[in-house]
Homo-oligomer: A and B are copies of this chain.
Amino acid sequence: MFIYPHMYRKLKRGPQVILPKDIGIILSYSGVDKESVCVDAGTGSGWLALSLAKICKHVYSYELREDFIAIAEKNRQLLNLDNVTFKNKDIFKKIDEKEVDLVTLDLPDSQKALKNAYKALKQGGMVVGYLPHTEQVKTFVEKLNREGFSDAYTVEVIVRDLLVRKEGVRPTNTGIWHTAYLTFARK
Contacts and interface: CB of A to CB of B under 8 A. Distances in A.
Nearest to A160: B156
By secondary structure, the A interface counts as mixed
Interface footprint category on A: 35 or more
A23 B31 contact: no
Contact of A138 (B124, B169, B171, B172): B169
Nearest to A28: B24
Contacts of A24: 24-29
A172 B156 CA distance: 11
Contacts of A171: 156, 177-178
How many monomers of this chain does the complex have?
Answer: 4
Interface stretch (A60-68, A85-93, A129-137): A129-137
Contacts of A155: 159-162
Interface in A44-61: 51, 54-55
A181 B157 contact: no
Contacts of A134: 134, 162, 168-170
A162 B156 contact: yes
Contacts of A138: 164, 169
Interface of A: 3, 5-7, 20-21, 23-31, 33-34, 51, 54-55, 124, 126, 132-138, 141, 151-164, 167-179, 181, 183-184, 186
